[in-house]
Amino acid sequence: TGDQWGYGKEDGPSAWHINYPVALGNRQSPIDIVPDETTLDRDLGPIFLDYDSCTSINISNNGHSVVVEFVDSDDRSMIRGGPLDNPYRLKQFHFHWGEKGHEGSEHTVAGLGYASELHLVHWNAVKYRSFTDAASAPDGLAVLGIFLETGDDHRWLHLITDVLFMVKYKDSVTDFKGFNPKCLLPNRLHYWTYLGSLTTPPLHESVTWILLKEPIVVSDKQLGMFRMLLFNGEEEDERKKMENNFRPPQPLNGREVRSSN
């Protein structure tokens, strides 16, 4: 019962297909983006992010990542435009990262990884009644992916890293209100987009991926705060640092990756 998967040797990405056979499907994520092999699509319009700050609820450690949840019972925090036929509602965002000095993003660009990757998860509330219904539909989810590279301190990321000590252990949660994820966006919203999947079990092939080309910059120190989190719960003896919580790139299987201008 519950989540039996992880990122270790025994329960990691290479074993997920045992309990989640769709892991071997034909539209799995992440992928390696090869810019020269993407299709420039002039019909791809800009994306619009209408994020209203008073919809964040809490921040939690789900044993796989740190997650900020949003009110998704109304249309206050939405993504629209770009490849999307409907507006999609923001449900949560979370991060994937590596260990000190190594890569940690899920998508790679021309074979190169970034230090971390932020995912803002949205669902199609026009066509589906709930996230769970949307999560198993081919056009149910839209995930906005933002790469993080190391450099100077990010001026707003401290709002998240300052509270990570409150969610050190799996299944810990604390209030996190009034956070507007707009402060985590880069300057330009040029993007790549393709049809893929969730990158963690249940790996549903229900995601329209929108990956921003421009990374945001965070410091090594800020990223190091994420590695203070633990995969394990407070009651467990073994302490497992939360790091390398990323799935490696999956076969493209002939999928088209489109590029906005």
193 binds ligand 3T7 (CB under 6 A): no
Active-site choice (64, 96, 122, 154): 64
Q: Which range binds ligand 3T7 by CB under 6 A, 161-169, 200-208, 221-229, 232-240? A: 200-208
Q: Give whichever of 42 and 129 is closer to ligand 3T7, judged by the CB atom.
A: 129
Q: Least distance from C-beta 130 to Zn ion, angstroms? A: 20
Among the listed residues 31, 44, 59, 143, the single contact to ligand 3T7 using CB under 6 A: 143
Q: Which range binds ligand 3T7 by CB under 6 A, 14-22, 49-57, 167-175, 195-203? A: 195-203
* Window 76 to 115, contacts with Zn ion (CB under 5 A): none
60 binds ligand 3T7 (CB under 6 A): no
Residue with tokens 């998240």: 160
How many CB atoms are closer than 10 A to CB 37?
A: 11
Residue with tokens 């803002």: 120
Among the listed residues 119, 122, 170, 204, the single contact to Zn ion using CB under 5 A: 119
Tell me how long the chain is: 261
Among the listed residues 28, 92, 172, 260, the single contact to ligand 3T7 using CB under 6 A: 92
Q: Give whichever of 19 and 136 is closer to ligand 3T7, judged by the CB atom.
A: 136
**162-194: b (≥16 Cβ within 10 Å) or e:** ebbeebbbbebeeebeebebeebbeeebebbbb
Calculate the dihedral angle through the C-alpha atoms of 175, 5, 96, 122, rounding to the nearest 10 degrees. Answer: -60
Q: Least distance from C-beta 134 to ligand 3T7, angstroms? A: 9
H or E, element range at 92? strand 88-97
Distance CA 116, CA 94 (A): 11
Instruction: Tell me the one-letter amino acid at 98.
Output: G
Segments in the chain forming alpha helices (H): 16-19, 131-135, 158-161, 220-226
Which residues are designated catalytic?
Answer: 64
Q: Which residues bind ligand 3T7 (CB under 6 A)?
A: 92, 119, 121, 131-132, 135-136, 143, 198-200, 202, 204
Q: Which residues bind Zn ion (CB under 5 A)?
A: 119
